[in-house]
């Protein structure tokens, strides 16, 4: 499939209502918590933790960008892997998750493709720089990435580690998208009084990373020429400046000698 054919497919999404996309050989149902936790992928019916506005906002950001090589962090129930494989039709998409337990329906879907265009890397922590390095070396053979989407831990430390590893591997003009960055600021008792439950309670908000990305854009526009944000996603454009995987963000922004402002973990 040519790059123009890949781009054209994005404007013809086979929506069936606002929560179901029917690709023929696979369906992707969009669900948000708490329903997401209660639904399972069965057969060719895949569950993805997204909403229609999230998908449409991603497509609007990526636009006509040619996506040949892509990494998706966070597999969960397999729906996002199928969604991106269908929407972007990349030459190769690597999907990564720290949980080693397989998703049989996704394994079957990938095998049916018969071309290794979808590579499933289970048991790989998004913060493991060596593992990501090995995957990229083996699967992309030194070629730059076009798109990275992080829908994995939603935690500051691992998300920042992945960014340090994968953002330098994007080509100029490529995009890095971080989902669900704003959980510490969502309204409602669960997020504000219960602090997001035991998973999020003692964690730093992802808004700390957003602050650093804004500072990168201000200080090093040749590295990060643009950062855009909506209520759920951060979109970072890759600039032309060369930087090595594992780069330290604070080495590339200035703040008059002051540390970047940051939120701490939730307080009791």
Condensed to tens digits (0 to 9), the pLDDT of residues 196-251 reads 999 999 999 999 999 999 999 999 999 999 999 999 999 999 999 999 999 999 99
Mean local confidence (pLDDT), 21-28: 97
What is residue 265's predicted lDDT score, i.e. its pLDDT? 86
CA dihedral (55, 12, 92, 113) in degrees, to 10, reads: 110
pLDDT digits (tens, 9 = 90+) for 136-185: 999 999 899 999 999 999 999 999 999 999 999 999 999 999 999 999 99
pLDDT digits (tens, 9 = 90+) for 62-96: 999 999 999 999 999 999 999 999 999 999 999 99
In the CATH hierarchy, which top-level class contains the domain 51-252? alpha beta
What is residue 213's predicted lDDT score, i.e. its pLDDT? 98
What percentage of residues in the chain have a pLDDT greater than 90? 91
Q: What sign results for the dihedral spanned by CA atoms 222, 159, 128, 57? A: negative
The values of phi and psi at residue 90, to 5°, are -70, 160
pTM, rounded to two decimals: 0.95
Judged against a pLDDT cut of 50, whether residue 7 lies above it is answered with no
For residues 57 and 20, is the Cβ–Cβ distance under 8 A? no
pLDDT interval class at 33 (50, 70, 90): confident
pLDDT interval class at 12 (50, 70, 90): confident
What is the pLDDT of the chain when averaged over all its residues? 94
Judged against a pLDDT cut of 60, whether residue 6 lies above it is answered with no
In whole angstroms, give the CA distance from residue 254 to residue 257: 7
For residues 260 and 248, is the Cβ–Cβ distance under 8 A? no
């Amino acid at each position: 499939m040519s790059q123009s054919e890949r781009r054209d497919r994005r404007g013809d999404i086979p929506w069936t209502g606002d929560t179901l996309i029917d690709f023929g050989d696979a369906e992707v149902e969009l669900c948000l918590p708490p329903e997401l936790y209660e639904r399972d992928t069965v057969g060719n019916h895949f569950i993805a933790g997204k909403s229609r506005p999230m998908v449409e906002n991603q497509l609007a950001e990526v636009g006509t960008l040619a996506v040949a090589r892509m990494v998706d962090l966070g597999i969960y129930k397999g729906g996002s892997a199928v969604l991106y494989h269908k929407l972007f039709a990349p030459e190769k998409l690597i999907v990564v998750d720290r949980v080693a337990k397989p998703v049989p329906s996704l394994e079957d879907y990938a095998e049916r493709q018969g071309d290794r265009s979808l590579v499933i890397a289970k048991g790989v922590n998004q913060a493991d720089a060596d593992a990501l390095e090995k995957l990229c070396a083996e699967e992309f053979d030194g070629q730059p990435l076009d798109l990275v989407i992080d829908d994995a831990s939603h935690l500051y430390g691992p998300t920042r580690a992945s960014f340090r590893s994968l953002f330098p591997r994007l080509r100029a003009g490529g995009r890095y998208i971080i989902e669900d960055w704003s959980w510490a600021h969502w309204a409602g008792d669960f997020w504000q009084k219960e602090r997001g439950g035991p998973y999020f309670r003692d964690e730093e908000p992802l808004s700390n990373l957003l602050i650093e990305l804004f500072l990168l854009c201000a200080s090093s526009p040749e590295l990060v020429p643009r950062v855009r944000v909506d209520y759920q996603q951060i979109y970072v454009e890759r600039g032309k400046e060369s930087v090595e995987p594992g780069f330290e963000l604070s080495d590339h922004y200035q703040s008059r000698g002051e540390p970047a402002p940051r939120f701490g973990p939730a307080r009791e």
